[in-house]
A = this chain, B = another copy of it.
Amino acid sequence: MAKITKVSPLAPAAFPTLPVIDGVQLASIAAGVRYQGRTDVMLAVLAPGTSIAGVFTRSATRSAPVLDCQAKIGGASDGPAAILVNSGNSNAFTGHYGQTSVAEVTQAVADVTGVPVGRVFTSSTGVIGEPMKHERIVAKLGDLNAALSPDALEDAARAIMTTDTFAKGASRTVGIDGKMVKIAGIAKGSGMIAPDMATMLVYIFTDAHVEQGALQAMLSAMTDRTFNCITVDSDTSTSDTLLLCATGSSGVDATGNAEFAAALEEVMLDLAQQVVRDGEGATKFVEIRVTGAVSDTDAKVHGLAIANSPLVKTAIAGEDPNWGRVVMAIGKSGAAADRDLLSISFGDILVAEKGWVSPGYREEDAAAYMKGQELVIGVDLGLGEGKSTVWTCDLTHGYIEINADYRS
């Protein structure tokens, strides 16, 4: 397996200092599922009464752990809960063996932690199609349980990495009714080596109380504006999982609180953008702002068509202000567009308007802008009030190197 030794040039300067979330205990360990010399399993145990919401890959070939999590979300939430995540093997496309493996691991976690098995959630990321050596995980559960501590989120972020080039974390604190409520999350994703997948795993914890139905509704809506607005290469993993856990240990009920919702969405967007910043081979972080669409849905369809276009992505890699390819992507997206009402900008530079190049446009200005590492492409369709912003990275030789040049 190829080793990615360079940290993405788009990575944040350092892993952020994350607050301790009351009601969450964490531990990580090296179980040798596949990797050697590093941690590869994390366990989180959550206080009784923790509400848990989840969103998952829509893949028709999703993995056994995803199916198990989906079946459990929305169940009784009075008992404690646990999340166990391993890297190195995704337990995806492993036939009936996959389900057996999940059943054995979740039961073992339940036995060790005292959490009801219906409240034990697992995720697996790594190689697909190989039976998971879950006995290696089970053998470490006693040690993991003994090592649980309230301040171990950064270690957990490292344990779930596969070929990520940096660990990803984010947090916000909100004052509600004179008390401070904390939100902290970790994520992995976007670095991958054959035959690993670009699996995105995200775990967000808060000490606020939020009723489960409200938590799920909030998570689903915000996912559409954050994690579902990022794309590296348009491919979707069979294992993508996002769990949001509200322990309630702060004693503050944040159900329906707008400031809490805003802070949560900030954490989600921060983590989502970090995933793009670790896109394979990425050298540019690109924000695509679509306005003037017939609807928000249409705006997002256009935005993702631009973000996923290999021609747009290679032009960005080549620092080429190739607005013609943006026009092409809008045209093929399937959403409403009128060529002669379209305007396109790169940063503050108006490139095209009214179906043609802008009269004041100078190629050298746009070419200079494209040399930056953080780019904004603006598209106004001139049709209505719909808008959406999506984030992506460029398509470079690095992507080909990571995904083609090495054998698993």
Contacts and interface: CB of A to CB of B under 8 A. Distances in A.
Total copies of the chain? 2
B403 A396 contact: no
Contact of A408 (B59, B320, B342, B354): B320
9 contacts: A93-B327, A93-B356, A96-B340, A97-B356, A129-B357, A194-B325, A238-B328, A317-B404, A396-B400
Contacts of A97: 356
Given A314-B404, A320-B407, A356-B93, A331 B236 contact: yes
A195 B310 contact: no
B315 A404 contact: yes
Contacts of A318: 194, 403-407
Contact of A235 (B94, B332, B338): B332
A237 interface: yes
A311 interface: yes
Interface in A383-407: 394-397, 399-400, 403-407
A183 interface: no
A403 B236 contact: no
Q: Name which of A237, A317, A408 has the most chain B CB atoms within 10 A of its CB.
A: A408
A12 interface: no
Interface in A54-97: 57-62, 92-97
Interface of A: 57-62, 92-97, 127-130, 194-195, 197-198, 233-238, 308-311, 314-315, 317-320, 322-325, 327-333, 335-340, 342, 352, 354-357, 367, 394-397, 399-400, 403-408
Nearest to A367: B407
Contacts of A397: 397, 400
Contacts of A127: 324
A340 B310 contact: no
A375 to B, nearest CB: 14
A94 B356 contact: yes
B61 A328 contact: yes
